[in-house]
Amino acid sequence: MALKKFNPITPGQRYRIAVSREELTKGAKPEKSLLMTIGSTGGRNSDGRRTMRYRGGGHKRRYRIVDFRRDKTGEATVQSIQYDPNRSAYLALITFADGEKSYIIAPEGLEVGQTVQSGRGVAPETGNCMYLAEIPLGAVIHNIEMHPGQGGVLVRSAGNSALMMGKEDRYAVVKLPSGETRRILMTCRATIGSVSNPDHSLEVMGKAGRMRWKGWRPRNRPVAMNPVDHPMGGGEGRASGGHPRSRKGLKAKGAKTRNRTKASNALIISRKKG
């Protein structure tokens, strides 16, 4: 995959860097049976009160129903690799022998026409979903379950991958993209390979309007506010605002937010760096 730079024939293209999207299947349209309508909240809850700032507008989207569980056994053929406006990774549309179709997160290197499988006794090849007990050591995996049958919840965003480090008793030892090493039950599943679109983090929007298309409104810096609006506001001249805090006055940048009594803490071998 490559990056695209543009001739600055408009101000918005001067600094824009885009992903070429050569992996995507040309002319492929979303599968209608796997689409759902998704509303726009504008950052409001069911009472109409704003619970998240700087959201609103944006282009209309439809949600693609993604199979994170991969619990259907048998071979499936990759029909197309498609863009998903709701996530950073690409999706692969697969078709089973009985005609059933589903979307899965496309791993890097998966191509149209290849076959993918799920279940026990499956070869550890790109796109195949396996139990952690059968995944060889040193394998690169993604879309990892935390509880058996739950569906993948870890390592799903563009370019991410985890590493199979070892096996201890009932648990597999997995190193996550954050640097955290933890135990996960070997009856959970994961998919072989790393997530597609690894250059997503290098993309540069180039203009504010592209963020508006995504539903993000302009963000006002706390130090530019008045004291009534934010704890970091006010002061004469360009004041620093003091220690970074949230709108409610809670300290930011460094305060530990994880619950000390969380049950799954016992499964963490080493925490993420930093």
Q: What digits encode the pLDDT tens for the residues 65-103?
A: 999 999 999 999 999 999 999 999 999 999 999 999 999
With a pLDDT cut of 70, the percent of the chain lying above it is 99
Query: What average pLDDT does range 4-28 have in this prediction?
Result: 94
Q: Is residue 272 part of a domain?
A: no
pLDDT value at position 252?
85
The domain that contains 103 carries what CATH number?
A: 2.30.30.30
**Model pLDDT, residue 272:** 82
* 273 — pLDDT class (breaks 50, 70, 90): confident
- For residues 260 and 248, give the distance between their C-alpha atoms in angstroms, rounded to a whole number: 22
For 195, other C-beta atoms within 10 Å of its C-beta total 25
Residues spanned by the domain of 173: 3-44+54-201
Q: Are strands 91-96 and 189-192 parallel, antiparallel or unpaired?
A: unpaired
Residue 245 covered by a domain: no
pLDDT of 210 over the 90 cut: yes
Q: What's the pLDDT score for residue 274? A: 60
Count CA within 13 A, CB hemisphere, residue 71.
Answer: 9
Is the Cβ–Cβ distance between 253 and 242 less than 8 Å?
no
Handedness of CA 121, 123, 127, 132 (dihedral sign): positive
Residue-wise DSSP of 3-15: EEE---SSGGGSS
Percent of the chain clearing pLDDT 90 (strictly above): 91
In a domain, residue 225? The reply is no
* Per-residue model confidence as pLDDT tens digits over 105-162: 999 999 999 999 999 999 999 999 999 999 999 999 999 999 999 999 999 999 999 9
In a domain, 217, yes or no: no
> What pLDDT, on the 0 to 100 scale, is given for residue 250?
87
* pLDDT classification of 1: cutoffs 50, 70, 90: low
Any domain includes 266: no
Distance (Å, whole) CA 132 – CA 141: 10
Instruction: pLDDT band for 41, please (50, 70, 90 cuts).
Output: very high
Q: What is the model's pLDDT at position 184?
A: 97
**Over residues 41-69, mean pLDDT:** 95
Answer yes or no: are the C-beta atoms of 164 and 136 closer than 8 Å.
Answer: yes
Contact 247, 231 (CB under 8 A): yes
End-to-end Cα separation, the chain, in angstroms = 31
Q: Residue 74 falls within a domain, yes or no?
A: yes
- Taking each continuous run of H as one helix and of E as one strand, the counts in the chain are 1, 15
The answer to the question of residue 104 being in a domain is yes
Nearby residues of 8 by Cβ (< 8 Å), 6 or more positions away: 14
Give the pLDDT of residue 132.
Answer: 96
**Structural domain contains residue 241:** no
Give backbone dihedrals phi and psi of 103, rounded to 5 degrees, phi first: -100, 140
Residue 251 has pLDDT above 90, yes or no: no
Q: pLDDT grade, residue 256 (50/70/90)? A: confident
Instruction: Determine the 3-state secondary structure of 251 from DSSP.
Output: strand
Please compute the mean of the pLDDT values over residues 151-174 and round it to a whole number. 96
The H or E element that residue 156 is part of is: none
Check whether 198 has a pLDDT greater than 80: yes
Task: Please tell me the total count of domains within the chain.
Answer: 1
Helix (H, G, I), strand (E, B) or coil at 80: strand
